[in-house]
Chains A and B, each alone.
Chain A
Amino acid sequence: MKLGAVGGDWLDERVGGGGLVKFFARKIFPDHWSFMFGEVALYSFVILLISGTFLTMFFDPSMTEVEYDGPYEALQGMHMSRAYESTLYISFEVKGGLLFRQMHHWAALVFMVAIFVHMFRVFFTGAFRKPRELNWLVGFSLMVLGMVAGFTGYSLPDDVLSGNGLRVVDGLMKAIPIVGTYISMLLFGGEFPGTHIIPRFFTMHILLVPAMILGLIAIHLVMLVAHKHAHYPGPGRTDRNVVGFPLFPVYTAKAGGFFFLVFGIITLVSATTAINAIWVYGPYDPSPVSAGSQPDWYMLWTDGGLRLIPGWEFTIFGYTVSLNILLPMVVYGGLLAFLALYPFIEAWVTGDDREHHVLDLPYNTPVRTGLGVAWISVYLILAMAATNDLIALKMHLSINDLTWLFRISIFVAPVLLFWITKRLCLSIQRQKRNLVLHGEETSRVVRTKTGDMLEIHEPLDEFERWVLVQHDDFRPLKAGNGVSALRAKATSFFFKDRIAPVSPAELREAMEHAHHEKHVIDEVTDGDYRIPAEKAMH
C-alpha cells in the first residue's frame, strides 16, 4: 500500500505524518491486567471532560439569591443561589442533564480510584525506579490535582453538604498561624460564605485545574513513550527490551476499545445509581447540617484526622495555635511527602543507579511492600475515621469507643501490618525457592522397599523457573568505606531479613538429588506414576 492511497501523502508533506506513523504505530506495549488502571484513569478523565463540557452549557456559577419556582415541589418558594437552582434545572429539566451530572460525578470517583490503584501498582512493582522517578512525581501531582478538581467540583452546586465542606475548609485555613484569617478572607472574598467562592471555584474547576491535569497527562504519556512501558519478569523479557503487542493494530483496538468499555460502565452506573442528590440536602444555609456528613471518598482521609485528634490548642503570647487542626495537616503532609519521596529514599538505600524496566514481584521486596501496606492502612483508618458516625450507627457502637479504637489503631495497625506483610513476603519467597529446587508437588507418594516414603515432584520447565530466579537481591551494607552509619542502618532495615535467590549451583545439586530419587521411584513404579485407582480404571 502506498501512503498516497490512504491520503497520507498530503499529511506527510505537511506534518511529516509518515515519520510519526513509523515511530508510533509499531511501538510495543506489554500486556497485563494491572497495566489497565492507568488507562482507566485516563479514560475517566476524558469522560469528565465530555460530561463536564455538557454541564457548563447549563450551569450558572453564581451566588445571586433567587426563589425557586421549578418543577421540584419540595423546594418551591425556597431561597437559594443561582448555582443551586441551575443544578436543579440540570437535574430535573434538561434532557439527559441528570445523566450527565451523574456521569460526571461517577467518573470523578472512578478517576480517583483508578489513580490510587495505578499508583500502588507502580509502587508495589517498583516501576518508580530509575528512569521513571520523574514520571512518578508527575503521577503524584496528578493525584493531588485530582483531589483539588474533585473538591472544587462538588462544592459548585452550593448545597448544604458541600457548603459545610467549604465551611470546614474555611476553618482549616483560619487555623494557619499569622496568615490564616487573611487567606480565608481572600479566598472567600470576605467572610464565609460570601458571594465569590462558587464563581472562583468554577474558574479553578473548569479552567485552571483541568489545564494543569491535561498538561501533566501529556508529560506523563510522553515520558511513557520515551521510557517504553515496563514489563513483568518472564522468559525473553529483559531490561533491554520490551515484549508485547504493537500499538497498531492490536492496542489501537484493545486500548481504544477499553475506553468505550469504561465509558459504557460509567454510563450504566450513572443510569441506574443516583449520586449526590443535592435536592435532598437542600440549598446551602449556614445554620443546618445533617448527621452523616461525609465528603467524596477520596477526601475522606483528610477529614478522618480531624475527627481523631484530641482537642489540643494552646495560646502563646496571646496568640492561638490550633494543634487540633494543624497536627492532622502535618500528618497528611507527611503521608503525601512519603509517597512523593519514596523512589528517592529507596534509591539512596540501595545505591542502585541502573535502569529498571523489568518489574519487581511484590513478594521479592518485602520491606517496600510492607511499607506500602502500612501506608495504605493509615490512609484507610483515616478514611474509616471520617465515617465513624455511620459505622457507629450501623453497627450500634459508641462513637467515642470507635474514635478511641481508631486513635489507637492508627499507631498500631501500620506497624503490625508492616510486620505481617514482610513475613508473608519472606514466606512466599521461601515457598518459591522450594518450588524452583524441587518442582511442583504432585501429591503422589511412593513407598520404597525399605519403607521410605517419597513424593513424586514435577520439575519446573526453564520458562516457569526463570520468573522465580531472575530477581535482583540486596544485602545490608556495613558503615564505613563511603557508607554512612545512617545508610548502613537503612540497608539493614531493608535487607537484613533476606532469602537468597536460588543459584545455578544449588539447582544443579537439587536436580542431581531429584534424579537419584526419580531412579528409586522408577524402580518401584516401573516409570508408571498413576495411582492404583487410576490404573484400575484402564
Chain B
Amino acid sequence: MNDNLDGSSPARGVSAIAPKEGGGFPNPGLAPHVHRQADSDKRAERRAERVVAGLFLLSVLGTAVFIAAYFLVTPTGTNIFAEEGSTRAVWWSNLITGLGLAIAVFFIGAAAVHWAKTLMPDEEMVEERHALRGTDETRQAAAAIITEGLQESGIGRRPLIVTTMVAALAALPIAVLAPLSTLGPLPGNKLHHTFWKAGMRLARDHDGTPIRAADVAMNSIFHVMPEDLTEETEHFLEERAKAAAVIVRIDPALGKNEESLANGHEGILVFSKICTHVGCPVALYEQQTHHMLCPCHQSTFDVTDGAKVIFGPAHRPLPQLPIEVDAEGYLVATGDFPEPIGPSFWDIHKDK
C-alpha cells in the first residue's frame, strides 16, 4: 500500500509517508462468504418472494388512493372528510393525496430493496482497477499530437495572430458590461432621499389616517408613512421601503440628546424604521427601556439618546425625521431625514 498502482514513489518532493516496518502485513484476501437463510432454505426463499410481491401490491394500493383522492378529497370541490372549500378540506386533500403517493412510491422501493437483499446474489464480486494515468506510449502520442497541432496552427510562428487573438478575447468580456448595464438604473442620488418633505403629515401605516400630537400617549409607538404616499404613487413599494418610520413618545426628562429632542415635539420622536445594518424593519419597541430592537440581527437602538446603537451589528443611529405640529394639531415633517436611511453604502456620507 506504500506504492502507487504502478509501484512508483512520489514523483515530486518528499513524501511524509512512514515506511512500513517489516513491510507491513499481507492482505488476507476476501473473508469466507456466509450464506443467507433464503440461499439454503426453500421455504425462506418462497417467503421472501411473497413479501416482495406483497410490497409491490401495497404500492398499487397507494396509487389507487392517490388517484381517488384527486376526485374525492379535493381542496375546493368534493371532499368526503370536510366541508367544501374550507381550510380543513385543503388539509385533508393534502394528507390523503400525500399518503397515497407516499405509499405508491415507498413500497416500490421497499419491494426492490427487499428483493435485492434476500433473493439476489450477495456474494461480493471483485473488479480490478486500472491506473487512470495513460501508458507512456499514450502520453507520448498525446504530446506528439498537441505539438504537431500547435505547429500546424503556426501559433509559435505567427505572433501577429496570437496578439490580436488575445486582444479580441480580452475585449469581448467587456461587451458583457453593456447588456449588464441595462438591468437597472444607476444609483444616482436615489438612496440619499426619501418621500418625506416639509409639511407632509405622518399617517398611520395600516389605514393612512394622520396622527395628532395629542393621540401619541406616553411610551406608545406608531408605525407611520407619509400621508401623501398612496398606492397610486409611482414606485409605491420602493418609497414605502425607504419612508417607513416609527413615532415614539418619551418623557423629555429622560432624553439624553438635546438635538434629538429639538427635532421632536414634547418628547414625540420620529425615527426611520429601516435598520442601518442591513435594512430590516426595526419593529420591536421595549417601552420600559426605550430600546428599539431589530428582529433580524438584534441591533438595539436607544431612542432616549437619538437612537444610538447600544448593542448588535448596526453602527449608525436610526436617522431621525424632524417634525412639528401643524395648525390643526397634526404631526408633520419639517423635511426629509437629514441623512440616508437603511444600510450603509460606500458613498453614504457624500452629499447628493
| Cross-interface CB contact of A92 among B75, B102, B124, cutoff 8 Å | B75
Q: What CA separation (Å) do A358 and B1 show in the bound complex?
A: 10
In contact, B281 and A289 (Cβ under 8 angstroms): yes
| Cross-interface CB contact of A306 among B75, B238, B277, B346, cutoff 8 Å | B277
Judge if B299 is at the interface, Cβ distance under 8 Å. yes
| Given A186-B181, A253-B115, A482-B295 contact (CB < 8 Å) | no
Show the binding face of B for A, using Cβ within 8 Å. Answer: 1-5, 10-18, 20-25, 27-31, 70, 74-76, 85, 87, 90, 93-95, 97-99, 101-113, 115-117, 120-122, 124-129, 131-132, 180-181, 183-187, 190-191, 205, 223, 225, 231, 235, 237-238, 240-242, 244, 273, 277-281, 283-284, 295-299, 309, 311-316, 342-350
Judge if A256 is at the interface, Cβ distance under 8 Å. yes
| Cross-interface CB contact of B95 among A241, A272, A318, cutoff 8 Å | A272
Judge if A141 is at the interface, Cβ distance under 8 Å. no
B21 neighbours in A (Cβ, 8 Å): 500, 503-505
Interface size of A by Cβ–Cβ distance < 8 Å?
147
| Given A253-B112, A263-B106, A470-B27, A240-B128 contact (CB < 8 Å) | yes
B15 neighbours in A (Cβ, 8 Å): 350-353
A443 neighbours in B (Cβ, 8 Å): none
Which A residue's beta carbon lies closest to that of B347? A319
B-contacting 9-mer, from A170-178, A202-210, A372-380: A170-178
In contact, A96 and B295 (Cβ under 8 angstroms): no
In contact, A244 and B124 (Cβ under 8 angstroms): yes
Q: What CA separation (Å) do A358 and B90 show in the bound complex?
A: 52
Apart from A186-B180, A351-B15, A505-B21: 5 A-B pairs, beta carbons within 8 A: A164-B296, A171-B279, A174-B342, A250-B116, A470-B25
Judge if A349 is at the interface, Cβ distance under 8 Å. yes
Interface of B is mostly: loop
In contact, B315 and A322 (Cβ under 8 angstroms): yes
Give the distance to chain B from A224, nearest Cβ to Cβ, in Å.
13
Q: What CA separation (Å) do A507 and B24 show in the bound complex?
A: 11
Judge if A324 is at the interface, Cβ distance under 8 Å. yes
In contact, B344 and A174 (Cβ under 8 angstroms): yes
Q: What CA separation (Å) do A180 and B128 show in the bound complex?
A: 54
A156 neighbours in B (Cβ, 8 Å): none
Judge if A76 is at the interface, Cβ distance under 8 Å. no
In contact, A320 and B295 (Cβ under 8 angstroms): no
In contact, A28 and B132 (Cβ under 8 angstroms): no
Which A residue's beta carbon lies closest to that of B112? A257
| Cross-interface CB contact of A355 among B30, B101, B128, B132, cutoff 8 Å | B132
Which A residue's beta carbon lies closest to that of B95? A271
Give the distance to chain A from B308, nearest Cβ to Cβ, in Å.
10
Q: What CA separation (Å) do A185 and B117 show in the bound complex?
A: 57
B311 neighbours in A (Cβ, 8 Å): 400, 403
Query: 9 pairs across A/B with beta carbons < 8 Å?
Result: A170-B279, A171-B278, A185-B185, A239-B5, A253-B120, A311-B309, A325-B344, A355-B131, A504-B25
| Cross-interface CB contact of B98 among A99, A260, A293, A477, cutoff 8 Å | A99
| Cross-interface CB contact of B279 among A168, A250, A309, A463, cutoff 8 Å | A168
A318 neighbours in B (Cβ, 8 Å): 347, 349-350
Judge if A261 is at the interface, Cβ distance under 8 Å. yes
A389 neighbours in B (Cβ, 8 Å): 295, 298
